Amino acid sequence: MPGGVAKRDLPTKTCPVCQRPFAWRKKWERDWENVLYCSDRCRRKGK
């Protein structure tokens, strides 16, 4: 799939707050490199 992210092979990261893996989401497509937390809730806890 040139130029796009395959739906079955989304990148994942591990949330440092809840230690759970989370997958790439469309809303993060422009900011994935800066996404650290799985949710706003964890982001608040993490700071």
Least distance to Zn ion, CB of residue 35, Å: 11
Q: Which is nearer to Zn ion, 17 or 35 (CB)?
A: 17
How many residues bind to Zn ion according to rule CB under 5 A?
A: 5
> Of the candidates 24, 19, 21, 20, which has an alpha carbon nearest to the alpha carbon of residue 35?
24
Q: If you ran DSSP here, which 8-state letter would residue 42 be given?
A: H
14 C-beta neighbours (distance < 10 Å), count: 12
Using the rule CB under 5 A, is 18 a contact of Zn ion?
yes
Using the rule CB under 5 A, is 17 a contact of Zn ion?
yes
Q: Record the tokens describing residue 6, joined without a space.
A: 């395959």
Give residues in contact with Zn ion (CB under 5 A): 15, 17-18, 38, 42
